[in-house]
Amino acid sequence: MSRIGNKPVSIPKGVTVTVKDAVVTVKGPKGELSQEIDRDIVVEVTAEEVIVKRPTEQIRHRAMHGLYRSLISNLVKGVTEGYKKDLELVGVGFKAANTGNILDLALGYSHNIIFEVPKELKVTTTTEKGQNPKIFLEGSDKQLIGQVAAKIRGLRKPEPYKGKGVKYSDEIVRRKAGKAAGK
């Protein structure tokens, strides 16, 4: 029995949820998002909540029941509050600057990396004296923010010896002792 799938998703004021041809569309103050749902899963929309039901107790249906309930919940939260991801550049000479949605990164390579952020997201960068440069991603689509943040992090992953690289602000990099500590 899926405990998450059985929990209804409450709909805040100013948000409309519609289901048509196995596609759930959520409209709110921060935009409009849609998610395709498996044809076996039943989505019922009332005035205050969305209820997700499964037709049978098959393993596949039980797995999708909780998944689609969570995805619908993420859509509702995205159009009301939005999501935010913070990245930090750790390393001497590492810099980040943006003009609109184009991110210019200096990550210790022989050239700067130009990264185009999708127009659905808002990107800002800060560089304060004595602090590491930071990149802030904001938007309503949780999946898109996570994917873009992972791509930016993948340009220079934090290494375990000095901790240099692009990391999430809340990420803890496990450090290793160098070869001098082995003797």
Question: Range of 144's domain?
Answer: 83-168
Query: What's 66's domain CATH number?
Result: 3.90.930.12
pTM over 0.75: yes
Ranges assigned E (strand) in 11-61: 16-20, 23-28, 31-36, 42-45, 49-53
What pLDDT, on a 0 to 100 scale, did the predictor assign at position 11?
Answer: 93
The answer to whether residues 125 and 48 belong to one domain is no
Percent of the residues in the chain that have a pLDDT greater than 90, as a whole number = 87
What pLDDT, on a 0 to 100 scale, did the predictor assign at position 97?
Answer: 95
Domain tally, the chain: 2
Tokens of 175: 């450090």
Last residue of a domain, one of 31, 64, 80: 80
Separation of alpha carbons 8 and 173, rounded Å: 37
- 129 by DSSP, 3-state: which? coil
Is there a contact between 134 and 86 (Cβ–Cβ < 8 Å)?
Answer: yes
